[in-house]
Structure 1
Amino acid sequence: MFDRLEAVVARYEGISQMLTQPEILGDPKKLAELSKEQSDLEDTVNTYRQYKEVVRQLQDAKEMLREHLDEEMMEMVKGEIEELSGEKEKLEGELRRLLLPKDPNDAKNVIVEIRGAAGGEEASLFAANLFRLYTRYAERKRWKIEVIDANYTDLGGIKEIVFSITGKGAYSRLKFENGAHRVQRVPETESGGRIHTSTATVAVLPEAEEVEVEIQEKDIRVDIFCSSGPGGQSVNTTQSAVRITHLPTGIVVSCQDEKSQHKNKEKAMKVLRARLYEKYREEADAEYAKTRKQAVGTGDRSERIRTYNFPQNRVTDHRIGLTLHRLDQVMDGDLDEIIDALTLHYQTAELQKVE
C-alpha cells in the first residue's frame, strides 16, 4: 500500500511542476486534464501526509518512554500514544479507501428515468412522489434539474419521466437508486382504507459527452410531432416534440418539454448518448454492473431495493438491511443517511476484495 501511496505523491508533485511550465499553461486542454488529475489525487496526498505526521509523533512519544520520566509524565505519554495509535489506525483505513479504484463516472451528471410499474394509478402517483423526492434532494445539493420528457396521468401521477441532474458528484450520490422502489400505503384512490402495495422503477445513467459516444446522422431517424398533456390531449399545436430512433440499436428517445424543436432535439440527443454509453459500457465490461434492464427489474412487487411504508413512517433499504422511522423526511429529500450507508457498505465490500 505504501509503495502505491509514494507513487501517488510523486505523481502529484510532478503535476505541480508541470503546471508551472509555459507549454502547459498555453495548452488549455492539457492544463484542464492535469488540473483535474491533481484535484483527484489531492485528498489521498493530504491524508497520507497527515498519516506520516501522526506516525512521526507516535515514534517520538515511544522514544520518550525510554527516558527517565516521573509517574505523572509517564501516564501522560502513554495516553498520547494510545490516542495517536487510534488516529493512525483510522487514517490507514481512510488511505485504503482512497486507493480503491475510482468509478470513472462518479463526477458525472446523470439522466434519471422514473416509471410507474406494478399497481396502476397508485404506481404512477408514487412515481410522482419519487420525482419530488429527487427534486428536493437536488435542491439540497444545489444541483440543477431539467425535465426532458414526461407522461402524466389525469390524477397528477407520472407514467414515466426522464430528467437530467447537473451537479458535482451527482452520479456518485445517485447511482445506488437504480431499481424497483416499493410503496405501502392507503392510496388516494382507495375508499375502503386498505393498504396497497405498488412499485415504481428508477434508472440512473451517467451523462455521456459527445466525445465519448459518437452518433452518426445516418444512424438516427428523427420524427417531429405535437406535444401532448395528461390523457394524451394535444397541448401544443406546433410540431415541436421530437422522437429520435437509433437505428443500429433500436433505442427510442422522446422529448417534448421545450417549445423549441431544436431544444427538444438537443435534450433527446443527451438522453440517447447516456443510454448508448451505458449499453456500450456494459457490453465492454459485463462485470462492471448489472444491465439496465436488470437494474430496474420488471417492477414486480417482489423485486425491490427499498420499501416506503407510509402508515409506519418507515423506509427500509433491503440491500443493507437499513430501516429508518422518518419516511416523511426522506420523501422531502433527506436521503443522505441512506446514501452514506450504501456507499460505506459497497466500499467495505471492495476493501475486503483488495485485502
Structure 2
Amino acid sequence: MQRRAIALFTPTIKDMVEVARLADDAGFDSVWNGEFFNRNGLVTLAAVAQATKRTKIATGIAYAYMRNPVLNATGAMDLDEMSGGRMILGLGSGTKSMNEGWYGQPFEPRSAAKMKECVTLIRKIWASHKGLGVKFEGQFYRLNIPAFSRPYAVRDRIPLYLAAVQKGMLRTTGEVADGLVGHPLYSRKYIAEYIKPNLEIGAKRAGRTVGDIDVTSLLITSISRDREQALRDAKNQIAFYASVKSYEEILNLHGWEKQKLAIWEHFRTFNLPKMAEAVTDDMVEQIAVAGTPDECHEQIKKWDGLINLPILYTPTAGVRAERVMENHRLIVETFAR
C-alpha cells in the first residue's frame, strides 16, 4: 500500500490550505475534505484547488441528497476545471437524522436505489456538456434541460466514489461507483468480512470485480510524541462515531455490545469523556492508527491488502484546535514520500 491521502478536517479554511500545500509538496496521492452542517465541502475545496498543483482533490464526502444532482455535478465540474482535471467527487447519503434534522429534507428509505439513480443522472450531466441537453425521467429525479452547453469542461467523466456502511449501499457502490470512501469506524475485520463480499455482489451485477473499484477508507490516525495523548484522541473520535446507531453493525461484528451500550448511554447527556472511557484499547487497535510517529508508521501496514488508499483522518471530537493542527502536520511528516 504505497498511496497515501489526508483528510483536511482543520479548524479553519486557512489551516486547510496550509495542510493541503504540505501534503502536495510531500507527495500525497490526494487530499480529501468533508462537510457537516457547519461547513460546505465544495466551497472549501475550491480554496484547496487553487492552493495545490499535483495532488488530487476530493470530497470525502459531499452529501448527495442535500443538493440537487445538478448542483453536485456542476460543482464537481467547476472544481475539476479549477484544478486542471484533479477532482474526485465523493458522495454519501448521510443518515436519516442528518437529512431531516440538519437540512429539513425527507429521507428516502430506498436510499441505495436513489443513490444509483443520482449517480446515473450526475454522469449524464457530465457527458452532456457539449449542448446535447439533459432529459431524465427516473423514480426519484426528473430533469429536463433542453440545452446544456459547457465548453470548458476538462473531462466528460470525473471519478465518482460513494460512501457506504450497510449492504445495500455497498452493493450499489460495487455496481456503479469508481471507488468506495470507507467510514472512519471501519475495522479491518469489517472490511474483510462485510465490505469486500458486498462490494463483490454489486460488482458482479455490472460484470466487474472488486479489483475494478478503488477501495479507500477514512482511517482515524492519531499521532503524537505523547503516546497516551494519541490514544485519548483516537478514543474520543471512535466514541463519537460509535454513538450513531446506523453504524452498530460494525460494533456488533466484534462483539462490542457492552461498549456500544455504554457509549449510547452517555451520549444521551453528550458526555464525550465518559463515552471515550467505554472505548477499549482493542477497539483502537482494530479501527485506528494511534501512537508515536514510529508506531503509526508500522501500524498502518496492517491495512495492506484491505484498502488501496488510506485517507488519514485527524481526530477532532473533543480535541483542541492546536492539537488538531499538530496531528495534521505530523501525518504529513510521518507519511511523506
TM-score (norm 2): 0.25
Richer in strand (by share): 1
Higher relative contact order (CA 8 A, sep 6+): 2
> TM-score of the superposition, structure 1-length normalised?
0.24
Larger radius of gyration, structure 1 or 2?
A: 1
